[in-house]
Structure 1
């Protein structure tokens, strides 16, 4: 299935989509591509907020838009993937302690896919932050993203670990 179709299906049934992804076989290149796609979308989602910050910045000594973009690019494309790999390993170890019977690959795929599937809400969060700014709207979208990501991740990890109660 196309990625966009799988993302939409994840909002209805994250476990079914994870089951289908796991049935496709163990492919690290696919897992890395899913993670990098999610990180790229998260980076793109930061653009409106960074532009707003650069436009509203009146202090000439503050960082320029280009400098903020470079920092966001470095953070999302080079640092975040390393953190996601560590978080996935930790989640597998916790799941194993709770009776999970999956492997590290399943835990990685569950986390990476959940992040990519929740990316549309992350893009919306960036738009609200850039165009509306801080306030209740931004907090509501942030909570929606967090709830969706948490739901996708827990459901996907349960599917990947199968033995969990």
Structure 2
């Protein structure tokens, strides 16, 4: 199935989509591709906010974008791998039967599937700036991301090979 179709269907039932992704077999390259695509979209979403910040403060846009690129393409993937491992260990305490791969896939897919809302968040941050609107969109993204991640993690921990 196409990634964009899966993203759209994730908004209806995140657990079902993750079970379908797990049924494709354990492919670490696919999980890494989801992670890197999600991190890249988040980096792109930061650009309007960074441009606004550079304009208002007089900072160099290149420096701000370089820092954001380093953060989202190098550091965030490492942190997300650790977070996925931690979530699997916590799930094991609650008698989860999944694998570390399933926990990684749940987190990485949640990031990618919620990325359209992150793009909206970046546009609001860039064009409107700090305020109630940005907080509402950011909270909406956080809720959707959490729903996708928890729903996917539950499906992954119930799925056993």
TM-score, reference length from structure 2: 0.97
1:68-121 per-residue CA deviation (whole Å, 9 max, x = no partner) reads: 000000000000000000000000000000110001000000000001000000
Q: Which residue of 2 aligns with 1:105?
A: 101
Unpaired runs of 5+ residues, structure 1, are: none
Which runs of 4 or more aligned residues in structure 1 lie more than 3 Å from their structure 2 counterparts after TM superposition? none
Q: Does the alignment pair 1:114 with 2:110?
A: yes
Q: Which residue of 2 aligns with 1:86?
A: 82
For this pair of structures, how many residues does the alignment match? 159
Q: Which residue of 1 aligns with 2:151?
A: 155
Q: Which residue of 1 aligns with 2:24?
A: 24
Q: Secondary structure at the match of 1:12?
A: coil
Hey, what's the Cα distance between the residues in 1 that align with 2:40 and 2:152? Answer: 21
- What is the CA distance between 1:57 and its match in structure 2? 1.2
Q: Which residue of 1 aligns with 2:91?
A: 95
Unpaired runs of 5+ residues, structure 2, are: none
Hey, what's the Cα distance between the residues in 2 that align with 1:67 and 1:143? Answer: 28
Q: Secondary structure at the match of 2:11?
A: helix
**Aligned runs of 1:132-151 on 2, under 5 Å?**
132-151=128-147
Q: Which residue of 1 aligns with 2:35?
A: 35
Q: CA RMSD in A?
A: 0.8
Q: Which residue of 2 aligns with 1:77?
A: 73
